[in-house]
Amino acid sequence: MEAKIYSDMRKKFTGYLEQKKLRKTEERYTILELICALTNHFDIFTLHEKLEEQNFHVSKATLYNTIDLLVEAGLVVRHQITPQSVQYELRVLADTHQHLICTKCGDVREIRDQALKADMKNLKVSRFTPEYYCLYVYGICSKCTFKMRQQKK
């Protein structure tokens, strides 16, 4: 599954880099490969940590730059979770689930509601061709609800 995703993504990314006349560096592909192996949302910090774990040293600047390219190429989605927190995920994964975002702590949970998914798939809009979607439901997570109850006591 992962290998299949990566070979697909690699092809698309190569096409994008060639079209934009950008360099096809080892670093860019390694970053993409790691992203394809992640099944969850990630931020730049965790991505950097994972690369370090694999003894792959890359500057934060390169990481930001590569992520920006992947977003522009339409392979990665940027989620602005809260004004302070940005997370990313593969675009092919983004519309397989919906996101529950806690407005207190910024925690993100994914749910898979098949009825909602079917509704979104059947969405008909005039003069517009939908390609993908990201659905966010904002609220309060159970941990924060618990904390708030404790504070009231």
Interacting residues with Zn ion (CB under 5 A):
89, 102, 104-105, 107, 141, 144
Minimum Å gap between C-beta 119 and Zn ion is 18
Residue position matching structure tokens 């060639």: 18
Minimum Å gap between C-beta 13 and Zn ion is 20
The single-letter DSSP state of residue 8 is H
CA pair distance 26, 22, nearest whole angstrom: 13
Q: 109 in helix, strand or coil?
A: strand
Toward Zn ion, which CB reaches closer, 11 or 78? Answer: 78
Toward Zn ion, which CB reaches closer, 32 or 94? Answer: 94
CA pair distance 75, 68, nearest whole angstrom: 10
CA pair distance 145, 59, nearest whole angstrom: 39
Minimum Å gap between C-beta 80 and Zn ion is 13
Minimum Å gap between C-beta 87 and Zn ion is 8
Question: How distant, in Å, are the alpha carbons of 38, 40, 96 from that of 99?
Answer: 17, 12, 10
